[in-house]
Amino acid sequence: MTSENPVVEVRSGEEFNLDAVDSILKRVIPGLSGRAILSQYNSGASNLTYALDYPERRMVLRRPPFGDKPKSGHDMHREYRVMSALKGTIPVPNTLFYSGDESIIGAEFYVMDRSEGHLIHTEIPTEWNWSKKEVRQLCVNFFQNLVDLHQVDYQAIGLSDFGKPIGYVNRQILGWNRRFEKSWTKDVEKFEDVQIWLVDNMPATERGAAIIHGDYRIDNCILSKGDPRNIEALLDWEISALGDPLMDLGNTLAYWIEPTDPDYMKMTLRQPSTASGMLTRNEILEFYSEKTGYDISGFQFYYVYGIWRLAVIIQQIYSRYYKGQNDNPRFKSYGAMATALGQLARYKIQTGKL
């Protein structure tokens, strides 16, 4: 098993003008020389990520996907700006350059240094020979990092205008419902009951404002080479915002699959949350509440929201595949996955279980 992030040849139709990028980077990055080797990261189902390997410097370029995109999604400048601001507070990659000039490669893009370390997905590498103790420490460090993020003084680091935290919950619920309607395909159920429940059960008050990552998962983290229990860099900030931090925790727990969960929940397994030693969702909720002091009563709303939001994200990706705007065969099953997630949200509403 590998803990590297594999690269492949750039996929057909996803190429860009390397010479144009090279010319710009050599103007803005002192000492950059030589010819870059271009390849593409195979992971990720949303933004496109490329490796730019110069003789003495390894970098990464990110751009939005091809095809129809939601108006507020895939914002490269947003991702670039929040990582730049968070340097020194939360482990993030070193950002280098952003351009909104779509004439260069056909879309906005940004470049950052590659964060060297381990990237793992559904399993802990067997060669690490970890016991439950090491697994649990990774889990604790991972959720402590989320706590730390939610306690960053966003005004002090220049992000006071990064979003509109007041009314964030309302905007998210209504916004994700709209996105589902726009990306709906006739082979997927509409789940009107789930959408109505979320609207009817929005909390009367929000838990203040924090920087929200929006896609907080272990497989969005580069783990330290020296000690992979620690996080070297947190990636994929494209849907970060200012808002109620419990919404972020709800998103995170929607991805957190446990060994005893039914098989249809395991369709969305993206990280080693089922490894022996990992905290359960209830234990995570208790840990987070203890560290932040937040009242977590009524958390079911945030958890259901996280599941529904994930269903919509999956449906948006599937919609592009369904319409022939993306021919990656791994997206063929995403319609069934969106359906399963909608059914899961319905089940959690009916049972009240976490």
For the chain, domain boundaries: 7-113, 130-351
Let me know if domain 7-113 sits in CATH 3.40.50.720: no
- How many C-beta atoms lie closer than 10 Å to residue 30's C-beta? 6
Least confident span in 2-16, 47-61, 264-278: 2-16
Convert the pLDDT of each residue in 48-94 to its tens digit: 999 999 999 999 999 998 865 545 555 899 999 999 999 999 999 99
User: What is the CATH architecture of 130-351?
Assistant: Alpha-Beta Complex (3.90)
Least confident span in 2-6, 145-149, 220-224, 227-231: 2-6
Contact 321, 328 (CB under 8 A): yes
Average pLDDT over residues 244-254: 97
pLDDT of 145: 98
Query: Which of 343-348's residues contact partners 24+ apart within 8 Å by CB, and which partners?
Result: 343/189, 343/264, 344/264, 344/265, 344/307, 345/191, 345/194, 345/304, 345/307, 345/308, 345/311, 346/191, 346/193, 346/194, 348/300, 348/303, 348/304, 348/307
Q: d(Cα 105, Cα 109) in Å, to the nearest integer?
A: 8
Q: Return the CA Rg of the chain.
A: 20
Which of 142, 206, 134, 183 has its CA nearest to residue 316? 183
Annotate 200-217 with DSSP letters as a single string: HT--SS----EEE-SS--
